[in-house]
Structure formats: C-alpha cells, structure tokens
Structure 1
Amino acid sequence: MKKILLLGGPVFQKPVIERAKSMGLYVGVADISKQAPAAPLADEFFQGSIRDYEAMLAIAREFKPDAIASGACDTSVVTVARLCEELGLPGNSVDAALNSTDKLRMIKCFAQEGVAHPAFAVAKKAELDVFVPPFPYPIITKPTDSAGGRGVNLVSSPETLLSALQTASAAGVSGDVLVEECMSGPEVSVEIIISDGVPHVLQVTDKLTSGAPNFFEIGHVQPTSLSCEQRKAISDVASSAVLAVGLKNSVAHAEVMLTSEGPKMVELGARLGGGWITSHLIWNSVTGIDMVETMIKVALGEKVHDFNFSNSGIYVATKFLPAREGVLSGLNGIESAKDSEGVIHVEVHGTVGQRYSKAVDDSARFASVVANGKTKEEALSNCDRALSLIEVQMG
C-alpha cells in the first residue's frame, strides 16, 4: 500500500484525507496540535511543527511515504518542497515554494516576468516607525510571510499607518511588511493545475469578503458570474503568475482583482484552495476532473494528461459564520441546517468553551455551509437560509 504524508491538519484537509483513502492510500498527518481538526481521520498522526524541517524530516524517515504534500495547508509548502528534494520525491522546487509563500519574493517574480500586479514597497521590521509609502493612500499592509488573511489592513491615512504596520509585522515570521496600492474591483480566485509546465484553469471563483479594513473571506461561489472575456483575461494573468514563480507540476490557488485597468494579481498559493473551494465546490461545479485526486496523483509523481473538463451547470456556494467576541457556549440547529434545501455540507469550526475575539481574518469561524442552486443567487440564498438555522450561544 502506498503512503502519503500530509503536513498540516486544518479542517479543509479533511476532504484530502478522505479522497486519499478512497484511492487506497495509507495517510499520515503531521501537525503541531493533537487537536488538529483533520487529525482523527489520519491512519497515523505525528505531532510536531510543520515549520520545523528537521522534525518533519525525522517523521518522514520514520513514515517512509511515497508522497509528501501540503494539500490545503499553506504553512507547510516550503517544508514539503525541502523534504521532497531531500528524499527524492516528486514536488515543487524549493525556489518555487519560497516564491509561492513569501509575498515579497512573489510580487518581485510578477514584476520580473511582466505579470500585472499592484504597486508595492516593503517596510522592514526595524524601520516600521520611519516608513513612508511611495504611493498615495489608501494602501494595504500585509505580512510578507503569512496566510489566511492574517495581519491584513486597509490604511486610509498616515495617522493609522504605524499601527497597521505593527499588526502586520506581528502576524508574520520575518516581521517585514509588504505595502501595496489599494486595488478596487471584483476579487476572484482561480483554481489551477500545472502539468509539465502547462497551466490548466479549472474554475474561476467569485469571492465574498468582509470588506475594509481586513478583507477576510466570508464566502465563495462557483462558477464566476463574470463574462467569458473577463474570465479569459483573469485566467491568463493567473496562468502567467504560476509560471512566474516557477511552478511546473503542482496545483495552485491564485487570487486576482479585476481592476479598471484589467486583472491584476493579489497573490497565489502552491496548494489547494481552502474554504471547500477545491473539494466540495469543484466537485459539484466541474465535471471531468477531480482537483483533489489530481493533486494527490501529482504528489505521487503520476503524469496527468486528461484535462477534458467543463462546467457542470450547477452553481455552488459556501458561506462562513464568522466568530464574534466572547466564550462560545453552544451551537444549536446544526442538524436543521444540514437538512435545509440545497445544502451539501455543514461544518462546525467553533469549539465550545473557547474564548473568541471578533473575526479579523480567515481563522475565526464558528461554522460553514456549502449549498447548490440553479443560479448564483439561489446557491447563496440556500447557504444563508441554512446559516440562519444555526443558533450561536455565547457565555
């Protein structure tokens, strides 16, 4: 029996584990927490930080996997690439992994290869208090090396700049902050498989965010409601972006803003999209290919040549129930939500007894719902109806 080791056990890793098992694989999962949401589904669980290369190397040598993958976890992309290189397994190059996770390296790749992107500058950790943006307000501040919307802020004036820079710096590892011009327009994600250096865009996803100042995700819909011409332009930019960072045999989740000047890259990840995008949404909105299964095949070194896929004609949406401040004492109505019209999946993210702050990024959610419909509006309405049946109790 072949083995796959997944680094990271977040909730969106669950469908990856389930699909790997359905393919006859023995699945190991490594995560810093024994309480990682996906841990109970693994055949073997290993506790350790997925940022700790030496610890993960020791685990990999013990487990002896045929493939190592990040799945839907951004934090482990570089560690996975280094392990694959050391152990002679298929995977992204370390350079491509670094380019796909360090936002400063990423945007420099875009600039070098002529991929449309926002104007940018970097505020070094030691110089936050003297940094002056080289372009007009409003601006966006974000950590150079974090994910999930952590530390992202819209800054409208010099008076709030230092606070935003400090927030972004604290949310990253290096402490450096990427500062970008604030783009405006519809934001979408693009789900891509790169095979032998050729990008294949499976789907463009409409993205719903909380808006300023943090822009964390509150939902997604597939397929996009943008025109065919706009979808083509977005797909072209995203395809150029994944090649610019050096991805050759990989999956990718790219985020693009459709500005008045055309589509521009926000950022990308060399991994599956979270938020049920590359599992439940693509499983229902696209026929002819399974993105999760394909990611696993690529990780095993299998060549994928059949890209005969198309829209299914079904609209699929997911919406999240963001956390609010206080101690979560209960979530009632989950079964009613599951039985609601059009609902495909309901997931509980909140932990009863845990204290939460008001949501400011993608990490703080109480629940999520996936639902389908004949139109985008119907799919979203079905999500909203199901979420309305969930009663949040705060202590």
Structure 2
Amino acid sequence: MFIVIGGGLFQTYAIKKAKSLGLKVVCVDMNPNAQGAKEADEFINISTKDHQSICNEIRKRNFLVDGVITVGTDMSESVYYISKEFWLDPGFKDYKKVVNKIEMRKALQENNVPQPKFTFSTDCRELIENRKKAGLSFPLVIKPAQSMGARGVKKVLDDKQIETQFDICKEHSFDKRVILEEYMSGPEVSVESLIVNGKYCPMVIGDRHIEKEPFFIETGHSCPSRLSKKDINEINRIMELAANALQIHNAPAKGDIKITKKGVMVGEIAARLSGGFMS
C-alpha cells in the first residue's frame, strides 16, 4: 500500500497519479470529507500530525506499506516516523532539519551554505538582545520556527515591531521558538527537485510572486523562470549544497531561493514538493 499523508486538493493529484501507476493508495486526513478520501483505495480518518495513531491503524488493517509521501504540506515528520516504523527509508536522515527553520539554518550554517544571518529564542526580550549581539540590522523578518503557510511571518523595521509580532509568531510555532532573519531583497524562485541516491535532479524553477509586504503572500508562479542561465546554474549549485547539508538522499527537495546583491541565498528548503500548483 502507498500512503499519502493528506487528502486535500494537492494531495489528490498525487493519489490519482499513484493509482494510474497501478499502486493501491491509502489516504490519511482528519477531515472525513477530504477530497482524497473519495479517490484513494483506503482512507484513514486521523490527523496527519498523529503519526503514532496512523501507524496503529495501518497495523490494525494489516496493510503492507510500500511507500509514504506527502505533497504540498509540511508533514515530513509524519512521513519520517511512518517510514521508519515500517522499515522504509524516509529519504532524509533527520526530519527536524527539513521541517524546523532553526534546525535547517543551523545545518546550512555548519556546511557554509549561503543564507541570511539569523538568531532565535522563546523569549521576546532575549530575541532582541540576541539581535543586537548578532549585529542584525533592520529590516528583518520574524517567523515561527516551525509552522505552515507563512503564518505569523512578517517584515519588521524596529524592535517595537518585533515586540508586537513576537507572540503571534510564538503562537503559530509548534516548538514555541521564534526566528529572526536578515531581510533578503531581490527576485525569488521556487525550485522543485528530486534527490535520487544522493544525486540532485532539478525538475523546474519558477519565479515566485510574493505580495502584500510586510507580509509574504504567495499569489502564484511563472514557469519557466525568466532568470539568466548563469543565475539558474548558480541556483542549482546552491540547492545541491543545501540538500546535502540537510542530508536529503532519496526524497523531493523544495527550495525557496533568493537572488540578492550578495549572491544566491537559501530562504528555505523542505523535503517535499511545493504547495500551490507549482508541483
């Protein structure tokens, strides 16, 4: 059985594709009326975050698990645990590095992958002190360390705005940590790739349309990217470095990449395909 974590619109495309390849598909979603439930061969009506209950239900039904994926949603943690539970390779070594922005930034920093300077904390006053110690100058971007859909993410221009936004970010952060990063000015692209046996295989690069500053609302993509071949080559080089740093070896790698005056820099990397209709 092929397990698809999520039963929304974007996961439904994956379900249909898997079935067209002759796979028996199990859809997992907390919504009993999820679109994917109607398309899959089997349906598990459990929250996509509750990986232990999902595993228990899989055992209860005596499913033989052949693969686990998610598409367009930050459920790589569940993919990781369910894969491990049934002796499968999740495709990445440490789920925290591909779902938590702080752990991602640490890993990229340790491997000298170009990215913005950052700091983090669970306390607002400490975050502001950390900003000063790290020499982070405004404008900056404040984010929940682990969330979805750009919830709580905002461009801030001074410490007062950090104070105003901090509790909102913390509320949306699964681990209650908040990260503060340098604001990166310049064009942004989405990169869809596969890492196959450690080899980076780019699929498509699209120009991201981000609007509504000081918030960051993605309204679409333009494919293929209008960037030069030189920029595209550099984007692919940085993506490969980032995927290696995050120890992604057999999984999708989705990147939000900025082209700045300092060069190509990583906004975010995840071990999944994009949301929206990009993937």
With the shorter chain as reference, the TM-score category is over 0.9
Once the two structures are overlaid, the 10-residue window that deviates more, 113-122 or 61-70, is 61-70
After TM superposition, what 4+ stretches of structure 1 lie above 3 angstroms from structure 2? Answer: none
**1:93 CA displacement:** 4.0
Query: Do the aligned residues in 2 keep the contact of 1:78 with 1:94 (CA within 8 Å)?
Result: no
Residues in 1 aligned to 2:127 and 2:201: alpha-carbon distance in whole angstroms: 40
Matched with 2:106 is: 108
Q: Which residue of 2 aligns with 1:88?
A: 87
Q: Deviations over 1:291-310 (max 9, x none)?
A: xxxxxxxxxxxxxxxxxxxx
Can you list the C-alpha shifts for 1:79-100, whole angstroms capped at 9, x where unaligned? 21122112112322451x2210
Identity among equivalent pairs (%): 29
1:8 matched residue in structure 2: 6
Structure 2: any 5+ residue segments left out of the alignment?
none
The Cα shift of 1:129 comes to 4.1
How far, CA to CA, are the matches of 2:231 and 2:68 in structure 1? 36
**Residue 28 of structure 2, aligned match among 27, 30, 35:** 30
1:95-244 matches, cutoff 5 A: 95=94, 97-124=95-122, 127-132=123-128, 133-134=131-132, 135-244=136-245
So what's the TM-score if we normalise by structure 2? 0.93
Q: Is the 8 A contact 1:197 1:247 kept in 2?
A: yes
Contact 2:65 2:86 in 1 (8 A): no
Q: Which residue of 1 aligns with 2:250?
A: 249
Determine if contact 1:11/1:38 at 8 Å carries over to the other structure: yes
SS at match of 2:141: strand
> Deviations along 1:318-365, whole A, 9 cap, x unmatched?
xxxxxxxxxxxxxxxxxxxxxxxxxxxxxxxxxxxxxxxxxxxxxxxx
> SS state of the match for residue 99, structure 2?
coil
Query: Aligned pairs, how many?
Result: 272
Question: How far has the Cα of 1:144 moved from its partner?
Answer: 0.8
Partner of 1:260: 261
Letter of the 1:208 partner, please give it: H
Map 1:341-352 onto structure 2 (within 5 A): none
Whichever residue aligns with residue 136 of structure 1, its letter is: S
Tell me the amino acid that sits aligned with residue 100 of structure 2. D
For 1:80, the aligned partner's letter is: V
SS in 1 for 2:17: helix
Q: Which amino acid aligns with 1:184?
A: S
Distance 2:54 2:115 in 1: 34
Change beyond 3 A, Cα 1:93–1:251: closer
Instruction: Mark the runs of 5 or more structure 1 residues left unpaired by the alignment.
Output: 279-395
Partner of 2:64: 64
Paired amino acid for 1:234: I
Give the Cα–Cα distance (whole angstroms) in 1 for the partners of residues 156 and 86 of structure 2: 44
The one-letter amino acid paired with 1:259 is T
Q: Distance in 2 between matches of 1:184 and 1:123?
A: 24
Deviation at 1:71, TM superposition (A): 2.9
**Secondary structure of residue in 2 paired with 1:118:** coil
In structure 2, the CA distance between the partners of 1:129 and 1:35, relative to structure 1 (3 Å rule), is: farther
Supply the AA of the counterpart residue of 1:23: L
How much has 1:72 moved relative to structure 2?
A: 2.9
Structure 1 distance, partners of 2:272, 2:201, is 14
Q: Using the alignment, how far apart are the partners of 1:112 and 1:142 within structure 2?
A: 21
CA distance in 2, matches of 1:93, 1:184: 30
Larger Rg: 1
Distance 1:37 1:166 in 2: 34
CA contact (8 A) 1:100 1:268 kept: yes
Q: Distance in 1 between matches of 2:204 and 2:230?
A: 14
